[in-house]
């Protein structure tokens, strides 16, 4: 009896849509594929709208290289696909080469036909994060938080890096005007300056050494992040065909339903899942779902025998129609 009561309460349709789970599902961390060289994998995002500048810019296009963490920020007057593509082609691809992957959210400016055409022409693959899940594109989202903080407080923030980003990218340290005036940096020897082959070999070895160390550092960082993230996981056990409720990202008002559905799971590719919503197929994160307890599939006990639950309200409606 007690077990049947629990099942019945859990199957309350209104309760399931308005209440959060007591122990919500929390999937383990799936790190992004690690890059092996600069500008192999880019993460892009739009900041804004913000306060309009004197030149009319009210958006910022932020692009970060996941290998070197080299960050490019470009002011935009609008965030249309042609404007974004022109910046990527003119100020990234022509200067640093064509990336293999570009990760972005599913905004129309990134999923547009012009973006598909550019990716086909230059041969890079687009990777889209699920909607309303910022940590899926954490590389650039973290940079965005710093940019917003600087803009808000007018304060520079300097990160602590063991290896300078510019050296990882270009194989040399930046020579500043103060270095020239104060003669702070030693000059290369005359023999090395005149011997292009030796200089090239030394530079090549130096860059390869730095890149190898960078790959190791990225692997260590990803492993540490996964260990910390996975301490409190509560993985789901959904199966294809299950009915689930999906979290409402933008509630209409304070007392509106927190979950919508139910929706059927079409396929699983952890940590993401594909569900069917109003004849449309969408991809979302497993953490945004909870299992739908359907009254019509309840199995209760009567005289120590399992029976299917029958909703009296449904039965009365059917008899009235007859």
**Please, what is the average pLDDT of the chain?**
75
pLDDT band at 69 (very low <50, low <70, confident <90, very high): confident
Asked if pLDDT for residue 276 goes beyond 70, the answer is yes
pLDDT of residue 186: 52
Q: Which residues of 230-264 are buried (b: 16+ CB within 10 A; e: fewer)?
A: eeeeeebebeeebbbbbbbeeeeeeeeeebebbbe
| Alpha-carbon distances of 288 from 25, 108, 173, rounded to whole Å | 8, 22, 45
Q: What percent of the chain has pLDDT over 70?
A: 65
Contact 58, 51 (CB under 8 A): yes
pLDDT greater at residue 93 or residue 282: 93
pLDDT band at 314 (very low <50, low <70, confident <90, very high): very low
pLDDT in tens, 145-202: 766 665 555 434 443 334 456 666 666 666 666 566 556 555 554 444 556 677 667 7
Average pLDDT over residues 271-295: 83
pLDDT band at 313 (very low <50, low <70, confident <90, very high): very low
CA-based torsion, 265, 266, 270, 272: positive or negative? negative
CA-based torsion, 296, 298, 302, 306: positive or negative? positive
Interatomic CA distance for residues 234 and 290, integer angstroms: 12
pLDDT greater at residue 150 or residue 70: 70
- CATH fold of 2-27+236-321 reads SH3 type barrels. (2.30.30)
Interatomic CA distance for residues 297 and 278, integer angstroms: 22
Instruction: Tell the residue number behind the tokens 């449904």, with chain if given.
Output: 314
Asked if pLDDT for residue 65 goes beyond 50, the answer is yes
For the chain, counts of helices (H) and of strands (E): 12, 12
Residue 148 in tokens: 């917003």
Asked if pLDDT for residue 321 goes beyond 70, the answer is no
User: Domain locations in the chain?
Assistant: 2-27+236-321, 29-159, 160-232
Closest C-alpha among 225, 290, 291, 287 to residue 26:
287
pLDDT in tens, 203-240: 778 778 888 888 888 888 878 877 887 787 777 888 89
pLDDT of residue 225: 77
pLDDT of residue 117: 93
pLDDT in tens, 7-56: 667 777 777 777 777 666 667 777 777 888 899 999 999 988 887 878 88
Asked if pLDDT for residue 315 goes beyond 50, the answer is no
CATH class of 29-159: alpha beta
Average pLDDT over residues 243-271: 82
């Amino acid at each position: 009896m007690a077990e049947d009561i629990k099942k019945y309460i859990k199957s309350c349709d209104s309760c399931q849509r308005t209440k959060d789970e007591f122990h919500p599902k929390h999937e383990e961390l799936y790190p992004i594929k690690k890059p092996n060289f600069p500008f192999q994998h880019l993460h892009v995002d739009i900041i804004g709208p913000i306060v309009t500048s004197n030149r009319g810019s009210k958006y910022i296009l932020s692009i970060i290289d996941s290998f070197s963490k080299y960050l490019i920020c470009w002011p935009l007057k609008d965030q249309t696909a042609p404007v974004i593509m022109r910046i990527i082609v003119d100020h990234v691809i022509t200067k640093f080469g064509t990336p293999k992957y570009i990760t972005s959210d599913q905004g129309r400016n990134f999923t547009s036909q012009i973006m598909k055409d550019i990716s086909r022409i230059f041969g890079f693959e687009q990777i889209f994060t699920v909607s309303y899940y910022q940590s899926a594109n954490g590389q650039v989202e973290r940079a965005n938080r710093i940019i917003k903080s600087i803009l808000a407080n007018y304060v520079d923030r300097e990160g602590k890096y063991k290896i300078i980003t510019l050296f990882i990218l270009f194989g040399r340290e930046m020579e500043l005007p103060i270095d020239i005036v104060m003669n702070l940096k030693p000059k290369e020897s005359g023999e090395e300056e005149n011997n292009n082959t030796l200089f090239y070999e030394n530079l090549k070895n130096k860059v390869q050494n730095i890149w190898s160390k960078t790959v190791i550092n990225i692997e260590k960082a990803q492993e540490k992040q996964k260990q910390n993230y996975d301490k409190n996981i509560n993985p789901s056990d959904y199966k294809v065909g299950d009915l689930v409720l999906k979290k409402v990202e933008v509630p209409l008002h304070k007392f509106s339903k927190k979950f919508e559905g139910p929706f059927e799971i079409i396929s699983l590719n952890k940590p993401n899942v594909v569900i069917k919503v109003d004849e449309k197929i969408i991809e979302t994160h497993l953490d945004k779902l909870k299992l739908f307890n359907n009254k019509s599939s309840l199995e209760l006990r009567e005289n120590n025998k399992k029976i299917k639950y029958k909703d009296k309200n449904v039965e009365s409606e059917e008899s009235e129609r007859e």
